[in-house]
Amino acid sequence: PFIEGIPGATWVALQMVQISVAFGTPPGLVVGLLFGYSRLFRDLFEFSLDAVRPTPLIALLPMLMLWFGTKMSTGVRLISFGVFLILTIAGTEAVRNVPHIYVRAALTAGASRFHVYRTVVIPAIVPHMMAGFRLAVVVSWGLVVAAEYMGAGVGLGALMFGRVRYLDNAGIIVIVLILAALAVMSDFLLRAVAKRFTRWSSRGAASASMVGEMLGSR
């Protein structure tokens, strides 16, 4: 029955989002910081990022289904890649927006390039990265529906597909409201966490080239 299947489907969707965020976050943070830190890394791989950035993530799902089958892990791969891409872009832009006066002051005080990056740049990008992380989690809830709807066969997306087959408008609306509530609650919790870690933050702007030159990146 539809009502009895909602708790289990919700739990599956929640698991997919949690696992995908856990897999996609670390590489997204690392690659994003590398794009912002290393001019050589940007020169080598920025074209790839620019090529992938405008590609709709859902368009990759049929290819992933062909490669990996219609399994839950296929959906996890899609969502993880979405999280990775968002955090990579957020990290790159965050480093570009570090106020150059922070870097200049630290270098003038005799700090090494690594020390400046660890103690100045990374703390300065926390607000931007938290915003990127919030966006990644919210987008994950949309991707999980597509992944479950088209391939995974379980979760709220699959449950919605069943309601579509029976022309059950009320059931579809219930699932949409559940997904909206989950996304809003996730964002609310992340926003509360972000406020605790970014009360000290201030806005500033500096170009990536300026920060890279000050840090001596090559």
Cα dihedral 50→56→58→64 (10° resolution): -30
Long-range pairs for 176-180: beta carbons < 8 A, 24 or more residues apart = 178/6, 178/10, 179/13, 179/141, 179/145
pLDDT at residue 57, as a whole number: 77
User: What is the tens place of the pLDDT at every residue in 62-107?
Assistant: 777 777 776 777 788 888 988 999 999 888 888 887 877 877 788 7
pTM: 0.79
Residue 137 pLDDT > 80, yes or no? yes
Burial label, 180 (beta-carbon count in 10 A; 0-12, 13-18, 19+): exposed
What architecture (CATH level 2) is domain 2-215? Orthogonal Bundle (1.10)
| Lookup: tokens for 140 | 């994950």
Q: What is the pLDDT of residues 201-213, one digit of tens each?
A: 544 444 444 444 4
- Cα distance between residue 20 and residue 202, in whole Å: 31
Residue 214 dihedral angles phi and psi, to the nearest 5°: -65, -35
Quick one: what percent of the chain has pLDDT higher than 90? 20
Residues for the chain: how many in total?
218
DSSP single-letter state for residue 119: I
Domain ranges (residues) in the chain: 2-215
